[in-house]
Structure formats: C-alpha cells, structure tokens
C-alpha cells in the first residue's frame, strides 16, 4: 500500500497490551498489514465521559490513518476539536473450539490506535487521502472513476490520525486445553473464517465490462 517505516512503536501506558501480553505486538509491519487488510474500523470517542463507537471506512498513507465523512457528522465535528480518539480494527480469523467451554476462544488480529485527529486542510494531502480510501477498498479503482469535484471536496471532511501510539494483538493456533481434558470425547480444533467476495452484481444501468480486480476480488 505504501512505504513502511521500519522503526517499531514504543508501548505507552495506554497502548501496552496488559491481558495476555504475549499476544501483543508493536511492530509497524504487523500493525500496518492488519490495517491494510481491514475494511472498517471502530472509532471511539467520549463527550462528557459518554462513549460513542462508530464503524467507518478508513485509508492509510505511510504513518497516517485517515477517516472521512460529512461536515454534519457528530463524530467528525467532535474529533476535530482535538479530543482523544481510540480507533480499533479487528480481523476475525477463526473459531477456537476446545474440549472445555472455558478454553473456547477466537483467532484474531486487532490493532488499537490512540491519539488525537486533525482536520486535513492541505488540498493535496486531502486528495491523496481520498485516493487512499478508494484504493484501500479496491486497488487502482481511483484511476477508473470520476474524481471528486469541487463541491464534493467541500462536502467531505478528512481527518488524520498519526500512527505513533498503537499496538496489535494477535491470537493464532489451536485450542489449549487442560491436560486432563485431552481424553474427553470432544472434537477440538479451529474453524478458519475469512471474508470472501461473492459474484459481483452490476447495477441495472451498468454498461461496462467488469474490471479484473472486481471480478477476482480477494482480501
């Protein structure tokens, strides 16, 4: 997607993984791969200690994560004021079925980012962010579509969140049962899960051939 800064992130009080710390990871490469594979994030913010968690699309350019929306959006209006944000991306990779109810789990890869977001005012950065949103969903889509006109640009707010305080958490592999439970007559293992594309559905006025990257879409 873009260049990777090789320097790892330093865990902070907020971003350090405290529960099952061996699943924590602070490598930029790991964090960016999860962000680039995901399609939606959950943006958390608080107004007078009232939390809100809003799902939204995002894009990444180098060490910045971008979100966007309407100038009327409560989320964007709130974040613009510089309040703290917690943005989380989660990929579900499998169901972990153990012999005991207690040891059931899930395989996943998640990233949690902390920081404050800033309104992108620079026209060039804003356009690059909008391209990143589109190409994040389908590579090279930006080249094919009509770019935003002046009115659409004015009608879109873009906010940037620096990727400086973040951590990944990853679980992989089979269930881990208590030793005594391995003799129980219970099947145990993993059901892998994947977000899979079905056959693309052209809209009723579509006159063009379906592009290769749409036909063979994989994540």
Whichever of 5 and 152 has its CB closer to a second copy, that residue is 152
Within residues 6-35, the interface with a second copy by CB under 8 A covers: 14, 18-19
Cα–Cα distance, 73 to 69 (Å, whole number):
7
Stretch that binds a second copy, among 3-11, 29-37, 58-66, 179-187 (CB under 8 A): 179-187
Query: Looking at 34, 112, 132, 161, which residue binds a second copy (CB under 8 A)?
Result: 112
Whichever of 26 and 217 has its CB closer to a second copy, that residue is 217
Q: How far is the CB of 74 from a second copy (least distance, A)?
A: 6
144 is a contact residue toward a second copy (CB under 8 A) = yes
Cα–Cα distance, 83 to 201 (Å, whole number):
41
E strand or H helix at 145: none
200 is a contact residue toward a second copy (CB under 8 A) = yes
The DSSP string of 161-176 is EETTEEEEEEE-S---
Within residues 66-85, the interface with a second copy by CB under 8 A covers: 69-70, 72-74, 83-85
**Torsions phi, psi for 53 (to 5 deg):** -130, 110
Stretch that binds a second copy, among 3-11, 27-35, 118-126, 199-207 (CB under 8 A): 199-207
Query: Looking at 4, 30, 61, 86, which residue binds a second copy (CB under 8 A)?
Result: 86
Query: Looking at 51, 121, 124, 150, which residue binds a second copy (CB under 8 A)?
Result: 51
Contact assessment for residue 138 and residue 38, using Cβ atoms and an 8 Å cutoff: no
**Torsions phi, psi for 215 (to 5 deg):** -60, -40
The DSSP string of 40-94 is EEEEEEEETTEEEEEEEE-EEETTEEEEEE-TT-HHHHHHTTT-EEEEEEEEEEE
Query: Looking at 28, 60, 99, 126, which residue binds a second copy (CB under 8 A)?
Result: 99
Query: Looking at 1, 26, 138, 164, which residue binds a second copy (CB under 8 A)?
Result: 138
Stretch that binds a second copy, among 1-9, 21-29, 36-44, 157-165 (CB under 8 A): 36-44
Q: Report the DSSP pairing between strands 50-57 and 40-47.
A: antiparallel
């Amino acid at each position: 997607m873009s260049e990777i800064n090789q320097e790892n992130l330093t865990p902070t009080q907020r971003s350090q993984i405290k529960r099952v710390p061996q699943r924590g990871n602070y490598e930029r490469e790991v964090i960016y791969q999860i962000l680039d594979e995901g399609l939606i994030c959950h943006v958390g913010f608080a107004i007078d200690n009232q939390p809100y968690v809003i799902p939204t699309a995002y894009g990444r350019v180098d060490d910045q994560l971008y979100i966007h929306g309407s100038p009327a959006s409560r989320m964007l209006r709130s974040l613009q004021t510089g309040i703290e944000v917690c943005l989380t991306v989660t990929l579900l990779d499998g169901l972990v079925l153990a012999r005991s109810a207690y040891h059931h789990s899930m395989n996943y890869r998640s990233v949690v980012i902390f920081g404050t977001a800033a309104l992108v005012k620079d026209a060039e950065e804003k356009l690059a962010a909008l391209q990143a949103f589109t190409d994040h969903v389908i590579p090279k889509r930006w080249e094919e579509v009509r770019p935003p006109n002046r009115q659409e640009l004015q009608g879109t707010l873009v906010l940037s969140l620096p990727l400086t305080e973040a951590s990944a958490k990853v679980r992989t592999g089979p269930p881990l049962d208590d030793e005594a439970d391995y003799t129980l007559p219970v099947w145990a293992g993993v059901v892998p899960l994947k977000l899979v594309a079905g056959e693309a559905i052209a809209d009723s006025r579509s006159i063009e051939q379906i592009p290769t990257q749409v036909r063979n879409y994989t994540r």
